[in-house]
Amino acid sequence: MSGPYVIRGSVSLPEAELMWRFSRSSGPGGQHVNTSDSQVELRFDLAKTEALPPVWRARALERLAAKLVDGVVVVRASEHRSQWRNRETAAVRLAALLAEATAPPPKPRRPTRIPRGINERRLREKKQRSDTKRGRSGRDWG
């Protein structure tokens, strides 16, 4: 493994709280795929972890509520033929998921007003366009 997976700042995933499960993966691999457990399932107990600050944990539990099973986040990876690369992929994916879920909410948008000059210019151009099109009609034939 390539060391601690940083979520954000100095907070990282603790290796002791990660639960790994391996199984046979479908897909390419030839005869080797029938004998090796290359699919990885990574579980992280979000509800009981002490690695995240309480505010982050509450925010993540709220945002990931649909993906949680009894407070546990499950990430699967089976893209690669090697178990080691699938472990890397699953851990990086979990770190990215937690980073997104614990991000602070965006600042509220401050409504802005359109400057009067821009609005007047828009109305003036609309009027000119309207006059141009009205001039094309042949009402005067009568």
Output the pLDDT for position 93.
92
Q: What percent of the chain has pLDDT above 90?
A: 27
- Please tell me the distance from the alpha carbon of residue 84 to that of residue 93, in angstroms, as a whole number: 14
Residue type, 83: Q
Helix locations, 51-111, DSSP H: 54-63, 83-101
Burial class (CB in 10 A: 0-12, 13-18, 19+), 130: exposed
Mean predicted lDDT score pLDDT of the chain: 85
Please give the CATH topology (third level) of the domain spanning 6-102: Double Stranded RNA Binding Domain (3.30.160)
Q: Tell me the pLDDT band of 9, cut-offs 50, 70 and 90.
A: confident
Token readout for 76 is 């699967």
- Please tell me the distance from the alpha carbon of residue 96 to that of residue 91, in angstroms, as a whole number: 9
How is the chain split into domains, by residue range?
A: 6-102
Could you give the C-alpha distances from 59 to 19, 25, 53, 78, 85, in angstroms and in order?
A: 22, 33, 10, 29, 30
Q: Tell me the pLDDT band of 128, cut-offs 50, 70 and 90.
A: very high
Residue 54 has pLDDT above 80, yes or no: yes
Output the pLDDT for position 142.
52
